[in-house]
Amino acid sequence: PSVFSAIEMAPRDPILGITEAFNADTNPNKINLGVGVYYDDNGKVPLLSCVQKAENMLIEQPAPRTYLPIEGLAAYDKAVQELVFGADSAVVQEKRAITVQALGGTGALKLGADFLKRFSPASEVYISDPSWENHRALFESAGFKVNNYAYYDPATHGVNFAGMLAALKAMPRGAIVVLHACCHNPTGADLTSQQWDQVIDAVVTAGLIPFLDMAYQGFGAGIAEDGAVVRRFAATGVPLLVSNSFSKSFSLYGERVGALSVVASSADEAARLLSQLKRVVRTNYSNPPVHGGKVVATVLATPELRQLWEEELAAMRVRIKATRDAFVQKLKEKAPGHDFEFVRQQVGMFSYSGLTKEQVAKLREQSIYAVDTGRICVAAMNSKNLDIVVDAIAKVL
Ligand code: PMP
């Protein structure tokens, strides 16, 4: 027997399992609501015009594929930092923020986790209950004990805010608290601005280390609105980590473009943090890939392309919102007596629909695929399949 012969099969990824079952389904009208991707009204992943135009500009100036610096393309890091914190913010002006290019939002979280494990090894990590399914595994793989804090309240389909606040206040000093900056995945339930005030206050008072995960900037209320929480945290002066992703907002999933930003208390401290963060990158993958970073940097730094991006992102956001409205309206007609009004209050790509595991299983018999938890991707619905989805849900209620 070799070292490999006793290795067991790893547990299946529940969402990939849905995709496999969906792919095997021969019904031509099958619909996959289990995905984590934005589809347009034709059911396609969009290729944004701003991205195509930036790629055309890059092709006109062919460049050799040298290594990027360890921390990524300088123009990218600068543009992303200004997007995340604001060019005129104190943290940017005072050079207290550092930003490194990362392999998507996942890569940014992993860099942050590895960095924290080196410099705050005794901390425990707290993630929302529930959270993006990879948060726990990712922080555990970096060596942390991972706990949940109260978040979702199935009774109201909203946030159990009292529970969340109590949990924050009970965390030990130095605990790492992972917060979804906007468009909570998987529930779609976000905090109000007043609730964020209280969360920020609790995090600062309790001496916690906030790690803001922003994977959906622009999918909620707008680019500035969705980013406001990050800026408010940055303004408090506490140590702060921010992971952000362009997978959704640029529809650049497979290019793996994201970034990790860390806020320090001085420019000198920031320089030391950057030097250490570069070691984390160096020992993991040396330096990031070129193409996606160049595309995003080009779009963000070219006024016409940036304008176009903001319009294209707004169109995605508006379509999701309109789909929520149409979904609720149609359910009102097809399933009177069942209240889905809460779906309108939820934000971003996802909705905890309130459908039970049994109802999800019955939907699957009608070739409609959702996650067992009842999570549906609102962006997987469109003007062609919405009636089919609503009729199927009405049948299983
Ligand atoms: N954080 C959250 C909350 C997510 O939903 C996701 C997945 N979209 C990520 C991080 C990872 O983003 P990426 O696909 O860019 O790695």
Inform me whether the pLDDT recorded for 165 exceeds 90.
yes
In percent, the amount of the chain with pLDDT more than 90 equals 97
Inform me whether the pLDDT recorded for 25 exceeds 90.
yes
Quick check: helix, strand or coil at residue 140? helix
Name the closest-CA residue to atom 9, ligand 1: 105
Q: CA 253, CA 79: separation in Å to the nearest integer?
A: 19
- In order, the DSSP letters of 35-58 are --S---TTS-----HHHHHHHHHH
Name the closest-CA residue to atom 6, ligand 1: 215
**CA of 383 relative to ligand 1 center, distance in Å:** 26
* Beta-strand runs (E) in the chain: 31-32, 97-103, 125-129, 146-150, 152-153, 158-159, 176-180, 209-214, 240-245, 257-263, 350-352, 368-369, 375-377
**CA of 132 relative to ligand 1 center, distance in Å:** 8
In percent, the amount of the chain with pLDDT more than 70 equals 100
Q: CA 257, CA 280: separation in Å to the nearest integer?
A: 18
30, 53, 110, 248: the active-site residue: 248
Q: What is the mean pLDDT of residues 212-230?
A: 98
Q: What is the mean pLDDT of residues 326-347?
A: 96
Q: What is the pLDDT of residues 266-302, one digit of tens each?
A: 999 999 999 999 999 999 999 999 999 999 999 999 9
Exposed e or buried b per residue across 106-129, where buried means at least 16 C-beta atoms within 10 angstroms of its C-beta: bbbbbbbbbbbbeeeeebbbbbbb
Q: CA 242, CA 180: separation in Å to the nearest integer?
A: 10
Active site includes 248? yes
Active site includes 309? no
Q: What is the pLDDT of residues 44-94, one digit of tens each?
A: 999 999 999 999 999 999 999 999 999 999 999 999 999 999 999 999 999
Task: Report ipTM (2 d.p.).
Answer: 0.99
**CA of 107 relative to ligand 1 center, distance in Å:** 9
Inform me whether the pLDDT recorded for 158 exceeds 90.
yes
Inform me whether the pLDDT recorded for 1 exceeds 90.
no
Confidence of residue 16 (pLDDT cuts 50, 70, 90): confident
Residue positions counted in the chain: 397
Output the average pLDDT for the chain: 97
Q: Which of 16, 185, 255 to mutate to test the pocket of ligand 1 (most atoms within 8 A of CB)?
A: 185
Name the closest-CA residue to atom 2, ligand 1: 215
Q: CA 56, CA 218: separation in Å to the nearest integer?
A: 25
